Amino acid sequence: MDSTPAAERPVLTVDGYSMAYDTDEGRIEALKNVSLSIHRGETHAIVGESGSGKTTLAWAITRYLPDNAHDLGGAILLSSEDMLAKTAAELTDLRGRRLAMVYQDPSSSLNPSMTLGDQVTEVLRRHRAMSPQEARSEAEAALARTGIRNPAAMMTRYPHEASGGEKQRVIIATAFACNPELIIFDEPTTALDILTANQIIELFLELREETGVAALYISHDLGLVSRVADTVSVLYQGEVVEQGDLKTVFAAPAHAYTQRLLAALPRPQDRLAVAAPQTDTPLMSLENIGVCYYTPSLLTRLLEPKTVAQYGARHISFSVRPGELLGVVGESGSGKSTIAKAATGLHPFEGRIVFDGKVYDSARALDRAYRRQVQIVFQHPDGSLNPRETIGRILARPLRLYDLVPRAQIAKRVAELLEMVLLPPEFASRYPHQLSGGQKQRVAIARAFAAEPRLVICDEITASLDVSVQATMARLLVDLQARSGAACIFITHDLNLVRQLAHRIVVMRNGAIVESFAAEDTEQTDRAPYTRELIDAVPVLDRPAISATTEVPHQ
Amino acid sequence: MGRILSTSNGVAGVILLTIVLTAALFGPWIAPYDPQLFHSQARLQGPSATHWLGTDQFGRDLLSRILNGAPSTVLFGMGATSLGVCAGTVIGVIAGVAGGRTDGVIMRILDGMLAMPELLFTLLIVTFLGGGTLQALLAVGVAFTPGMARIARSAVLSVRTREYVLAARARGESRSWIVLREVLPNAIGPIIVEATIRVSFAIMIGATLGFLGLGAQPPSTEWGLMVSEARQFMFRNPWGVIIPGIAIAMTAMGFNLFGDALRDAFDPKRSL
Amino acid sequence: MNLSYLIRRLVAVLVVMAIVTVAVFAITNVLPGNAALMILGENATAQNLAALERQLGLDRPLLVQYFDWVSGVVRGDLGMSLRLGLPVAEVVGSAFINSMWLAGLALAAVTVISIPLGALAAIKRGTVYDTGIGVFSYVGTALPEFVTATLLLVLFASPANPIFPAGGFADPMEDFGLFLTHAALPVATLGLVLMAHISRQVRSEMSEVLSSDYVRAARIKGLSERRVIWRHTLPNSMAPAVAVISLDIGYLLGGIIVVEEIFAWPGLGRLLIYALQNRDLPVIQAITLVLAVVYALSNLISDLVIAKLDPRVRYG
């Protein structure tokens, strides 16, 4: 019997735990010999990329595993009780009461046909044996504690009637409701906007202070994790490669993988941009651009005269100079992707585009010359490439379409393009599904640059990639930009990244421009309040500069 | 193919289809007797050593009749479906690619066609074409067209929003290029799955038309017609209606199972 | 759900109906063969044919015939049956009621049986029970109605062992019990295919819900399995189930045609077969219109039900 006093006994102990899945391709080891412990009041971060096993660890702890999962050894103890030995009934009893979880996607984790209030009260009635009235008032109080403005009204709403941030607060309230010993947070802010995410983090810090709960915080975002966690385990392919006090580990990472992750974090002071453009004459100007997504039909207007047209963006004007990298920053719904669609003629627009002296006043007016000179790279590598075409054919297409290269030279040029994006030439005969996400994104970038454009629009090209790959992609883009002299409109929600790369920055919100400024002026005091909020929401991680020669394997 | 055989559905479907297709390809040659020959001594008999599946009211061997009717049944199903798929895909692709007003008009017309139950639509067409196998095939093909057009259109619409199609549009590719090279090759999957399943419906409707006397005419060995002819004697020799019924069911099931397995094989996130 | 939506839907239904009537008119008039020919037979002289056509109004231009008919429909006058010499509205009206009895009973039976069946299959996935339902549904959807009907007749209505009558009809208003015995086999025939199809769909919908994130979240909250099923799974499976059922109503209405013919049930289906054999255009057009309207209205009703069941659905 453990003689350590209760207060010092860890809330969660994972001791040499291993686990595997049986799949069509055989047994896959998801977790290998994982060990960690969390004490009361401590927040332990699990950091890793996709495939690291971090989410699997969460399911293993809650014992919610599919049938094809097998424990291979080791122990998981909740307050010194063996979790692997628990019966189904015991698990149902302790889940929600002693152990709770907050999920990544608040929209899909809430029952769409049940009111938010009911989803909180049911946990209170189940574990704290409250009557309906008691549960209701306690639930309201819980919602109030998470900062929801009108808790009584929120109780009666359905999930689709609440915003992402509000839904996540409800889930957090449910998790804290029965005062559990341990709460697992699985990437709770990934699906939220920057400012909302920031608020949720503040909320977490407050509640943690109040309740002293032990927390397991899973994330891929090291910057974020450094604000909330005391200790950290770095997970790579199911194994813990580094572990310890967070500040110590981040200040002096021992393992190469940890170093790579830290190096990948964008820091504004690590300037990556090409030389600033010399001239002031813009290459392209957007003048008073508006994009309308919905106009009510005649019948609708007759029956509901107050229905208005809905715009994705309105009265947008900015310009890009040759060779410049213009960053466009905003949260979701800001209209930044809408502008990309308008500028590439994918969506009809109002207003004018002036490119290289020529004026285009509608999407239809955009001619072949324009379309060659303005290229776009999209966010999702999986959707960017036609699954039925080989990489070689995909890259050859712009060469053929724009007659850039004589027939006989195409294969050679394709090989050059692949080399430019640091991919082996034999990839030309492969199909997209045989490439990883990062590799596919490189092909998409190569395809854009194959047309020898003067402007490349990058619409959140790093958002769907793993952290370590993002840095490589950004570096690649800047390199290509330098080689070709092309200008670039870089759309993103990552302010730190854009400060590294851009010459000028445009901030958008709700379909309108808030302000635009030179990158070096980001911290000036005359920035708009919204911009200030965005900057403050993503503080830069204080870490030692990691040399650029640190090996970052291509992915 | 490997993925299809990995599910029990797929295995069952392949087995059934093999039996059915063998009968369809070789039936008339491996039939033990002439399907039209009367064996007046052995009428309305159940299964026996000489007549494995029994005989009908004229003494005709049922096994031979079934085998004889297999090719036309399968051909009918595949023919009618191909007709519907081709016509429907063309319409659906046009609607999906054109968008806007053209799409709206086409959808309205399709909705109108689909507002009628399929069998009703088929009956109308086949009645006014006069009866007969070819007419029935045409009728079923035409009746399938709106449904297939809907499927084709939705497949096209879902592919149209994919980023590689957007990339092609941004490049300034011509519309025909986008349809032929980017959209169709990727939209064809759901269309083929639906087509395979529809073959089973075509076969069933064809048999129904035969039963109603609007499709194949006597002395054809069409299975639906066989049931209709055997109806008056069904209490004396139920095998006369059971045997063709099972044949129809096996064929329809084979295509159905195969089509479902095909759908699972195509679908990346297989929900078992 | 607001008035504006309802009005827009009804307008859409009207447009669709217009298209249906045009289609029917086109089919029945563009293709060879007409009522005069059917009445007089193939050996009729051209003279007699022309005279009868004039008498029946079949020699007028198509457009005139069409608008004549449409204006009649709007007034509630569906014309006169060419063969029976009776007002179409009368003939179709009583047949309609009989068919609706059949369809209604079949629908009720299907709903009551297949939803629990499918739900249980989803909950007990992978067990023998689930496989059984799977086999049942595959076999069921592979049997055309006439095969099922004939098999049921052989089993339950053979002269040697008549559990149910082999056909015919009894007025439900007069003797409901007798009516039910006559209705049993036709309803079973109609219901079988639908039950097979719908229980499979319900199973697949529920399986999806059972593997959703919110059901997982409910389990991690430590809620009892009972609560998870009844409060979190079933309510979210109902809306898709209703959607499937409403789609199958089209199939049901088609199935009525064959079933009524086999069981000699005096409904729209049997009337339609008769009208088709005799090229009785007004009757054909009226029945087609009625069936299409029933289908369209049932779709509208099911959309309303879905809106009630699923709070996310917002028609406006």
pLDDT (tens digit per residue) in A122-158:
999 999 888 999 999 999 999 999 999 899 999 999 9
Residues B118 and B123: their CA atoms lie apart, in Å, by 9
- What is the average pLDDT across A77-105? 92
What CATH number should be reported for the domain holding residue B170?
1.10.3720.10
Quick check: B212 and C258 CB within 8 A? yes
Cβ of C311 within 8 Å of Cβ of A300? The answer is no
Nearest to B167 among A367, A376, A388 (CB): A376
Q: What's the Cα-to-Cα distance from A368 to each of A252, A355, A365, B170, B266, rounded to whole Å?
A: 53, 13, 10, 10, 36
pLDDT band at A5 (very low <50, low <70, confident <90, very high): low
**Using an 8 Å Cβ cutoff, are B258 and B203 in contact?**
no
Q: Indicate whether B41 belongs to any domain.
A: no
Architecture in CATH for domain A284-296+308-537: 3-Layer(aba) Sandwich (3.40)
Strand A512-518 relative to strand A504-509, pairing: antiparallel
Which of the 8 DSSP states describes residue A277?
Answer: P
Q: For chain B, which chains pass the contact test of at least 3 CB pairs under 8 Å? A: A, C
Most confident of B54-63, B168-177, B219-228, C14-23: B168-177
Task: Match 């447009």 to its residue by tokens.
Answer: C15
Q: Is the pLDDT of residue C4 over 90?
A: no
Q: Give all domains of chain C, ordered by start, each with its CATH number.
A: 3-27+96-315 (1.10.3720.10)
Residue B42 lies in a domain: no
Let me know: does A203 contact A211? Beta carbons within 8 Å: no
Confidence of residue A550 (pLDDT cuts 50, 70, 90): very low
Q: Which pairing describes strands A487-492 and A350-355: parallel, antiparallel, or unpaired?
A: unpaired
- Indicate yes or no: CB of A398 within 8 angstroms of CB of B166: no
Residue from the list C125, C146, C252 with its beta carbon closest to the beta carbon of B208:
C146
For residue A285, is pLDDT > 50? yes
- Look at residue C34 in the predicted model and tell me its pLDDT: 65
pLDDT at C171 over 90: no
Calculate mean pLDDT across residues B21-31. Answer: 81
Mean pLDDT score of chain B: 85
B40 inside domain: no
A-chain residue closest to B6, CA distance: A24
- Domain of residue B92 covers 4-33+54-271
pLDDT for residue B272 is more than 60: no
Closest-approach residue (CA) in chain C for B258? C138
Find the CB nearest B170 among A344, A367, A383: A344
Q: Which residues of A touch C235 (CB under 8 A)?
A: 113-114
Beta bridge partners of A20: A29, A70
Residue A6 has pLDDT above 60, yes or no: no
pLDDT at C52 over 50: yes
B180 and chain A: CB distance < 8 Å anywhere? Answer: no
The pLDDT, as a whole number, for residue C36 is 66
Test B208 with C296 for CB contact under 8 angstroms. Answer: no
pLDDT band at C175 (very low <50, low <70, confident <90, very high): confident
Name the more confident of A240 and C87: A240
Return the C-alpha torsion angle C127, C131, C136, C139, nearest 10: 180
CA distance B14 to B8: 10
- Give residue-wise pLDDT tens across range A153-185: 999 999 999 999 999 999 999 999 999 999 999
pLDDT at C314: 65
Domain with CATH 3.40.50.300 in chain A: 12-261, 284-296+308-537
Residue A488: pLDDT band by 50, 70, 90 thresholds? Answer: very high
Average the pLDDT over A279-287 and give the result: 90
In DSSP notation, C148-178 reads HHHHHHHHHS-TTS-SS-SS----TTT-HHH
> Which residue in chain A is spatially nearest to C233 when comparing CA positions?
A111
Number of domains within chain B: 1
pLDDT at A231 over 90: yes
Q: How far apart are CA C172 and CA C179, in angstroms?
A: 5
Taking contacts as CB-CB distances below 8 angstroms, the residues of chain C near B199 are none
Structure tokens at A502: 């851009």
pLDDT-based confidence at residue A553 (cuts at 50, 70, 90): very low
Question: Is the per-residue pLDDT at A555 higher than 50?
Answer: no
Whether residue C38 is predicted with pLDDT greater than 80 in this model: the reply is no
Nearest CA in chain A to C236: A113
Q: Do C4 and A303 touch (CB under 8 A)?
A: yes
Of the ranges A334-338, A388-392, B95-99, which one carries the lowest mean pLDDT score?
B95-99
pLDDT at B167 over 90: yes
| Cα–Cα distance, C25 to A510 (Å, whole number) | 53
User: Pairing state of beta strands A69-78 and A43-47?
Assistant: unpaired
Interface with chain C: mutation pick from A113, A182, A301, highest number of C CBs within 10 Å: A113
Report pLDDT for B271.
33
Question: pLDDT by residue (tens digit) across C216-231?
Answer: 999 999 999 999 999 9
Inter-chain residue contact B248 with C160, CB threshold 8 Å: no
Using CA atoms in the order B108, B110, B113, B119, what is the torsion angle rounded to 10 degrees? Answer: -150
Is the CB of residue C241 less than 8 Å from the CB of residue C201? yes
Q: Residue A554: what pLDDT? A: 40
For residue A138, the model assigns a pLDDT of 93
Task: Give the per-residue pLDDT at C163.
Answer: 81
B183 found inside a domain = yes
pLDDT at residue number A552: 43
Which position has the higher pLDDT, B1 or A366? A366
Beta-carbon separation of A346 and B170 below 8 A? yes
Q: Residues A66-71: contacts with CB within 8 Å, 24+ apart?
A: A66/A21, A68/A21, A68/A22, A68/A23, A69/A19, A69/A20, A69/A21, A69/A22, A69/A30, A70/A19, A70/A20, A70/A21, A70/A22, A71/A17, A71/A18, A71/A19
A-chain residues near C218 (CB < 8 A)? 111
Task: Please indicate whether residue A33 or residue B8 has the higher confidence score (pLDDT).
Answer: A33
Where is average pLDDT lowest: A238-242, A387-391, B238-242?
A: B238-242
Measured CA to CA, the distance from residue C71 to residue C86 in angstroms comes to 19
In this prediction, residue B2 has a pLDDT band, given cuts at 50, 70 and 90, of: low
Tell me how close the Cα of A89 comes to any Cα of chain C, in angstroms: 9
Residue A321: the pLDDT is: 93
| Residue A546 confidence (pLDDT) | 59
Q: Is the pLDDT of residue A100 over 90?
A: yes
Which positions in chain C touch A113 (Cβ < 8 Å)? 235-236, 309-312
**Integer Cα distance of C260 and C169 in angstroms:** 10
Distance from CA of C60 to the nearest CA of B (A): 19
Note the pLDDT tens digit of each residue in A465-482.
888 888 889 999 999 999
Question: Is the model more confident about C119 or about C28?
Answer: C119
A327: confidence class by pLDDT, cuts 50, 70, 90: very high
Q: How many interchain CB pairs under 8 A, B with C? A: 147
On chain C, the residues whose CB falls within 8 A of the CB of A112 are 214, 236, 310-312
Average pLDDT along chain C: 84
pLDDT at residue A270 above 60? yes
**pLDDT confidence of residue A279:** 85
Q: Is residue B47 part of a domain?
A: no
Q: What ipTM does this complex have?
A: 0.85
Q: Note the pTM of the prediction, 2 decimals.
A: 0.85
**Is B269's pLDDT higher than 60?**
no
Res. B42: pLDDT tops 90: no
Contact state of C232 with A114 under an 8 Å Cβ cutoff: yes
Residues B88-116 have a mean pLDDT of: 87
Number of Cβ atoms within 10 Å of the Cβ of A449? 22
Percent of chain A, pLDDT > 70?
Answer: 96
Asked if C218's CB is within 8 angstroms of A93's CB, the reply is no
Topology of the domain comprising A12-261: Rossmann fold (3.40.50)
pLDDT category at A549 given cuts 50, 70, 90 is very low
**Which of A63, A97, A111, A167 to probe the C interface (max C CBs under 10 A)?**
A111
Separation in Å, CA of B46 to nearest CA in chain C: 15
Question: So what's the pLDDT on residue B4?
Answer: 66
Q: List chains adjacent to chain C, taking adjacency as at least 3 C-beta pairs closer than 8 Å.
A: A, B
- Mean pLDDT on A274-291: 88
Is the pLDDT score of C214 beyond 90?
Answer: yes
- Residue B62 is predicted with a pLDDT of 85
Share of chain C above pLDDT 70, in %: 94
Who wins on pLDDT, B156 or B272?
B156
What pLDDT, on a 0 to 100 scale, did the predictor assign at position B265? 77
Per-residue confidence band for A51, with pLDDT thresholds at 50, 70 and 90 = confident
Kindly identify which residue of chain B lies nearest to residue A377, measuring between CA atoms. B167
Residue A340 in contact with residue A491, Cβ under 8 Å? Answer: yes
Which residues between 202 and 221 in chain B have a beta carbon less than 8 angstroms from any beta carbon of chain C? 204-205, 207-208, 211-212
What pLDDT does B3 receive?
65
Would you call A148 helix, strand, or coil by DSSP?
Answer: coil
* Nearest Cα residue to C136 out of C200, C64, C46, C225: C200
Rounded to the nearest 5 degrees, what angle is found at the Cα of C99, between the Cα atoms of C95 and C105?
Answer: 150
Average pLDDT rounded to a whole number, residues A444-472 = 91
3-state secondary structure of A311: strand
Is the pLDDT confidence value at C316 over 50?
no
Mean pLDDT of C191-209: 89
Mean pLDDT, chain A, rounded, equals 90
- Per-residue pLDDT at A235: 94
